[in-house]
Amino acid sequence: MRFLYFLALLGFTSVMYSQDFNYAITDIPEELTNNANSVVRLDQYFIDIPDIARIATTHKRIVTVLNKLGNNDVGSSIYYDNSSRVKSIKATVYDALGNEVKKYKQRDFNDASATDGFSLHSDARVLYLNYTPSSYPYTIVVESEKISKTTAFIPPVYSNTNYYSSTQKIEYDISYNPSLGLRYIHEGDRKDFFIREESGALHIEARNIMAVSPEAFAPSFNTIVEHIIFGLDRFNLEGVNGKADDWLVFGKWMDDNLLNGTQDLPEDTIKTIKELVVGIDDPIIRARKVYNFVQNKVRYVSIQIGIGGWKPMLSSKVDEVGYGDCKALSMYTKALLEVANVPSYYTVVYGDSDKRDIRPDFASVQGNHVILTLPQEDNSYVWLECTDQQVPFGFIAGFTDDRDVLIVTPEGGEIIHTKKYTAQDNFQYLKGTYTLNNSGDIMAEVRMSSGGIQYKVRSKLDKDNDDERKKYYYDFWNYINNLQLGDFTFKNNKIDAIFVEKISFTARNYATLAGQEMIVPINAFNRFSAFPAGAIERTQDVSVARGFSDTDSTEIVIPSNYIVQYIPENVTLDTEFGRYAIAFEKISENTLSYKRSLILNEGAYDKSNYKEFRSFLRKVAINDKQKMILVSK
């Protein structure tokens, strides 16, 4: 009955949309074209999972591209590898009136390696259509069929596939063997999708979903749009059957089938590690020694072939060749730590600057990256990024921080949360001096110390060449005309994860001369200008993913033949979003002190607070531009 239901539904819908669909843009509801570069006229999936090692996916996507910015929304590509094959793919293009322009068969699609630019080995390939439109708007229909042995991944369904793209209709049907235990989780506002469940079948549809526009300080796209993800209790991953009843069971399956037997090491390396940590009682110091050994010995490359895309390479092989992907390098480090008597856990995570959790209530194959977790006696953890030869020990800001991750313990899987870097952790301390001459030129020296996420951003300078460094500073101080960089030196303190910069520069005509007066922008070193634009109607909540704190102390030396005629009042702004303060003090006849502090709090706020949030940032930017007036004696 399940199979007959699937065939009947597939046949009915295929006939309906092949014969009666109107491709003319006049058939699109006008509201769907508002603020849209494209309209997904139909996104139709038929997925059949008859057993644990077979999934057949039929996909039909009809997209009307309204302008050239909508070309990326077409979706005219399909990926495959050694465990999957593309049974068919074709495309048809229509003009604005719905007249057929051109047909493309499978042989017209380009077939290329789907490497990510970092992969040493990969069996992933992609078929894609390289279509250049002669005019806009146009409509393209892409139809494909794909069969895979891996059932660990079922395509998710999203109400919108991109910013500035609306959706006219979604049809999503799954036919499955009930013994596999299909599960799904519905995230978002839960207002667009209609869901009907039957034994061995799931039907989802949605209609007329408006385009979403990006907004400053908004949550990530993945959390804004409504979507449904799927998983099976019993699945197959590259020929290996798996279980995902819960995270404990799933983690145990990973340990038994993917990790077990990969931690072999040559005797010479074992001897080297033992000698490296001999006499060291502190496990953290032993772990640091091992981590430094790894960073000096191996480098990161991606390996994505078959089960090798999920199973770590043997540690002995990593030791021999000196490279590996995140899985292999993490397991290699884990094996070395075991020799040093330091326990650690293989840890699966979504690595990205956007924070994304492994869903704690939905056991399945998730994540795109692997790190190591070191449990401590006080029930805290230390996390190790094993793919970066420069990152400090235990430092994870900006890529794997503050999110739920899966650790694989001997007992099974467990969800824990990685380190959260507070605004005080993400600090920058600035101490600078600039001297004005009679022409309004300045000579400046500044020292900046950065930690947390600001360390991550600034420490890249340590690896850059001089041209890249100069470009960075000219961009950083782009509000200073006629800037000329002088010397710059760096100190990268990897023990404490603090990056120190010392820079000198000059700038002609920094101040403006007006008769007897000299008008001087006070803040030469660290102006905030990233306040967002105003919004007629805010549609999304406000999200500050990571807070930070800046503390600045500047000494200003004015020409001996000038005195201060005007200096702004001290300012303090104290809000739920953060705190800002500036203070001025006369040190001597020709020396002033300018102190500034800015704390932006991490947080999520209702969209009704957007005006107040923007107002706070705007006031910061305005006060950072304040000027003082000097007058000639």
Cβ-based burial of 281 (10 A; exposed 0-12, middle 13-18, buried ≥19): exposed
422 or 310: which carries more pLDDT confidence?
A: 422
Residue 8 is predicted with a pLDDT of 43
* Percent of the chain scoring above 70 in pLDDT: 94
Q: Is residue 521 situated within a structural domain?
A: yes
Please check whether residue 580 is in contact with residue 549, taking contact to mean a CB–CB distance below 8 angstroms.
Answer: no
371 and 231 share one domain: no
CATH code for position 143: 2.60.40.3140
Cβ-based burial of 54 (10 A; exposed 0-12, middle 13-18, buried ≥19): middle
Residue 6 is predicted with a pLDDT of 44
Neighbours of 613 (CB within 10 A): 23
Mean of the per-residue pLDDT values of the chain: 92
Which residues, including other chains, have CB under 8 Å from residue 345's CB and lie 6 or more apart?
Answer: 372, 373, 374, 375, 407, 408, 409
Confidence at 113, pLDDT banded by 50, 70, 90: confident
Residue 83 is predicted with a pLDDT of 86
Give the tens place of pLDDT for each residue, 82-108: 889 999 999 999 999 999 999 999 999
Question: Is the per-residue pLDDT at 118 higher than 60?
Answer: no
Which of 236, 271, 294 lies at the terminal end of a domain, its last residue?
Answer: 236
Which of 205, 236, 267 lies at the terminal end of a domain, its last residue?
Answer: 236
Question: Is the per-residue pLDDT at 515 higher than 60?
Answer: yes
CATH code for position 586: 2.60.120.1130
Structure tokens that stand for 528 in this block: 């905030």
Walk across the sheet containing 157-158 and list its strands.
157-158, 227-232, 182-187
Residue 531 is predicted with a pLDDT of 82
Q: Is residue 422 situated within a structural domain?
A: no
Which of 236, 271, 291 lies at the terminal end of a domain, its last residue?
Answer: 236
Question: Is the per-residue pLDDT at 530 higher than 90?
Answer: no
Q: Give the predicted TM-score (pTM) of the model.
A: 0.90
CATH code for position 277: 3.10.620.30
Give the tens place of pLDDT for each residue, 455-488: 999 999 999 999 999 999 999 999 999 999 999 9
Indicate the length of the chain as a whole number: 633
Range of the domain at 275: 244-417
Confidence at 139, pLDDT banded by 50, 70, 90: very high
373 and 488 share one domain: no
232 and 249 share one domain: no
Total structural domains within the chain: 3
